Structure 1
Amino acid sequence: MSFREIYGSAPDGAWEAPGRVNLIGEHTDYNDGFVMPLALPHTCRVEAARRDDGVLRLHSADVPGGVYELTVDSLTPGADGGWAAYPAGVVWALREDGLPVGGADLHFTSTVPTGAGLSSSAALEVSTGLALDELYGLGLSRERLARLCQRAENDFVGMPCGIMDQMASACCTEGHVLHLDTRDLAQRQVPFDLASQGLRLLVVDTRVKHTLSDGAYAAQRRWCEKGAEILGVPALRDVPYEELEQALGRIDDPDVRRCVRHIVTENRRVEETIALLERGETRAIGPVLNAGHASLRDDFQVSCAELDAVVESANAAGAIGARMTGGGFGGSALVLVDEDAAERVTEAVLEAFRTAGFRAPRVFEAVPSAGARRV
């Protein structure tokens, strides 16, 4: 159905925001660390019209059901609104920040796979925020927009995510990977032209999401915070890599120790990747990707059989490197390959899933794309 068919009038405009895949730097964002996401060509699009009566109406072309109708004055954190909690949370966060946002009619369509660790929720939030920013003339910077969308997910929806997903959706640029310091949001757009080097970056969506993920994610975050407290630092990004073994010797809790080891070594892997890309040595990041996956699997313990199968089968078939991406316990993995090996590696991954009795994964190419924009 079109916006006019749903709401009886034309929209004031349309905006879209992309999903993302994270090249390296996993679970570091809520530890004030470093990340390197790139935007996908898959986007969440919202058509929107301003309302002056305080009514918020939400409709998704991708989710069964009709129109959610709310009033902006009645928005309450923690209410179970399903997918609609994300855009409603953005309205709530904007108003909580003192911004003059009233009602709106919003109609969403999305090509970002849900449950795949590709930030479909951030794309939903950022597209909503950008539309409201323009409809109400708020003049938000991309950084402030991202922080408010993060607040919506943290405080309204109740998911304790870091800032990376929202910043990636709001700020990435075409043909680049975003090097982001999540403490002060300092960012650099690093050229990432794989085609010119005969390379491709594949995303393998395992199409599984294990139910323990949300509780385990929160637990890992608590262990990271406990590690920082034990070590007397504001966040784990402040633990020097060169002092890691000394720091681990001060921690008795094995869960805290393994989480600290992952975060500190993962920040180092981001620095290594940046250095290699800046020297034009893109192929050399393969072992860094592999090391990142091993750390997520063994230290942070957020991988699963399906993600491990992607990495192992891809590397056995000649991939340059591979690792899980996103929160873990399912979702997606990324695979760096030579162009002429892409088909062979893809078939090896599909065969590994068939042999293991897993549901067939979805494989597509990650092309560094533009961040949120009016369309």
Structure 2
Amino acid sequence: MTTATTPLVDLFRVRFGEPQGDLLSVTVPARSEIAGNHTDHEGGDVIGGALDANVQAICAANGTSTVRVESVGYGGFEIDLADLAVLEAERETTASLARGMASELVATGRTPQGFDLIMQSSIPAGSGLSSSAAVELAFGRAMEALWEGDAIDPVTLAKMAQRTENNYFGKPCGLLDQLAEALGGLAHMSFADPETPATEKLALDFEEHGYALVLVNVGSDHSALTGEYAAVPGEMKAVAAAFGKERLCEVDPAAFDARVNELRRELGDRPVLRALHYWYENELVAKRWAALQAGDIEEFLALTRASGSSSAMYLQNVSVGGAPEQPAMVALGLAQRLLENDGAVRIHGGGFGGSIQAFVPLDRVDAFCTGMDGWFGQGASRHYRIVSEGAGYQWL
């Protein structure tokens, strides 16, 4: 019987009582999309960074066929492991993530067994830092450890989590979020082969080059805009389908150029613009990775600014069309004023509110955060560091 004590372990005992066996601790970092805005689902390249904010969980087997989950500050739920089918009533809920990951782990040959789990998150919800992917991976690592079976590598686990979000939660995400959090560190990922994405990690600290990574929560709940998010890959794939392909990575840009007028008539202008963004942004990812490998932070920042412009003008995921509120666009403009053409700012993650990303000179971080917090609320700005460890667990 474990005698470990931490605040979360104490909360576990308050909620579920004394565990029947050893306790398991699971930690999954948040992620920042450093480069590659909506390129992953089209077979493009991405740079992701695992952050020093995370989902932490404590769990233990409970001797039943039921999984009981408590999320600190959000309440709890239960799922019956005898029923792992997609439930329409669970769409866009945390319960769907637990049920989906259970289905994925059972498919590896494991025998499902009930357990109790309490989790807490330091990832701002709905801000585009992939709290949902972190929760999926936390469930996956917990089930991997608690249910006897072979170890699961980061790429395989990430693909399980992506399928869960696609099929159970109902969000057509790519693999960036899950893979960045499963791998940890600063990682370049290529999704040309969706079954075997190529990955490469780089040990680089932005602060050693004089800049801090700051993300600003702009106060618009990204989690409530699943439809707007889904339209991005949907429209990109509609362009690919016009060429008999599934993803834009399979389309010859020259063939696209030759049919622009036809595509505008048949699909509209926005899908055409989003396809243009894909090719432009994908080239920028390669250039930014090369700049980081060379330690050329100024070139990286210049290319990051170009990426931000492409997202705003072509991808158009900074504001919701027709809505008078444009918090992310306002945040980008104000952040640029504070930086005075130094550093870089861009929309972050899926877009549509959520958060913006800024690379801020170290000697201006406090003033930048104070200024942004004054406009968007105390604590809206947060200074992050890249962490090397991805989704993992340990027995206590």
- TM-score higher than 0.5: yes
**Partners in 1 of 2:31 and 2:366 — Cα distance?**
23
Q: Distance in 2 between matches of 1:13 and 1:290?
A: 43
For 2:27 and 2:314, the matched residues in 1 are separated by 36
Q: Which amino acid aligns with 2:329?
A: D
| 1:43-58 map, 5 Å | 43-58=54-69
* Aligned equivalent of 2:345: 322
- Residue from 338, 357, 363 that aligns with 2:381: 363
What corresponds to 2:322 in structure 1?
none
Q: 1:32 aligns with which of 37, 43, 61?
A: 43
2: CA distance, partners of 1:300 / 1:317: 25
Alignment of 1:227 with 2:239, yes or no, is yes
* CA gap 1:334/1:243 in 2 versus in 1, 3 angstroms: farther
Matched, 1:123 2:134: yes
The answer to whether residue 230 in structure 2 is matched with residue 215 in structure 1 is no
Q: 1:114 corresponds to which residue?
A: 125
Name the structure 2 match of 1:309.
330
In 2, are the aligned partners of 1:200 and 1:337 still within 8 Å (CA)?
yes
> 1:69 matched to which residue of 2?
78
Aligned residue identity for 1:213: L
In the TM superposition, residue 212 of structure 1 has moved relative to its aligned partner by 6.7
Contact 2:28 2:56 in 1 (8 A): yes
Letter in 1 for 2:302: P
Matched, 1:373 2:392: yes
What is the match of residue 304 of structure 2? Answer: 289
Alpha-carbon distance in 2 for matches of 1:209, 1:335 = 19
Contiguous gaps of at least 5 residues in structure 1: none
2:270 maps to which residue? 255
| Structure 2 counterpart of 1:205 | 217
Conserved 8 A contact 1:39-1:172:
yes
Are the structure 2 counterparts of residues 47 and 360 from structure 1 closer, same or farther at C-alpha, using a change threshold of 3 Å?
closer
Structure 1 78/124 Cα, relative in aligned 2: closer, same or farther at 3 Å? same
Is the Cα contact below 8 Å between 1:62 and 1:110 reproduced in 2? no
Quote the residue 1:338 is aligned against.
Answer: 361
Pair 51,79 (structure 1): closer, same or farther in 2 beyond 3 Å: farther
Partner residue, 2:6: none
Distance apart, 1:341 and its partner CA: 2.1
- Report what 2:111 is aligned to: 100
Per the normalisation by structure 2, the TM-score is 0.85
The number of residues matched between the two structures is 365
**Structure 1 pair 116/212, CA: closer, same or farther in 2 (3 Å)?**
closer
How far, CA to CA, are the matches of 1:314 and 1:181 in structure 2? 30
Could you tell me which residue of structure 2 aligns to residue 8 of structure 1?
17
The range that moved more, 104-113 or 241-250, is 241-250
Partner of 2:146: 135
C-alpha distance in 2 between matches for 1:344 and 1:109: 30
| Distance 1:212-1:12 versus aligned 2 partners, 3 A rule | closer
Distance 1:350 1:291, change over 3 A: same
Which residue matches 1:80? Answer: 89
2:385 maps to a residue whose letter is V
User: SS in structure 1 opposite 2:350?
Assistant: coil
Q: How does 1:131-210 map to 2 (within 5 A)?
A: 131-138=142-149, 139-173=151-185, 177-182=186-191, 183=194, 184-209=196-221
Counterpart code for 1:308: M
**Structure 1 residues 141 and 210: alpha-carbon distance in aligned structure 2, compared to 1, 3 A threshold:** closer
Whole-angstrom CA distance in 1 between matches of 2:284 and 2:14: 50
TM-score (norm 1): 0.90
Name the stretch that deviates more: 25-34 or 300-309. Answer: 300-309
Whether the aligned pair in 1 keeps the contact of 2:43 and 2:249 (CA below 8 Å) is yes
Whole-angstrom CA distance in 1 between matches of 2:199 and 2:291: 17
Looking at structure 1, the residues matched to 261 and 288 of structure 2 have their Cα atoms a distance apart, in angstroms, of 28
Percent identity, aligned pairs only, is: 25
5 Å-filtered alignment, 1:266-281, equals 266-281=281-296
- Partner of 1:270: helix, strand, or coil? helix
Distance in 2, matches of 1:185 and 1:137, equals: 27
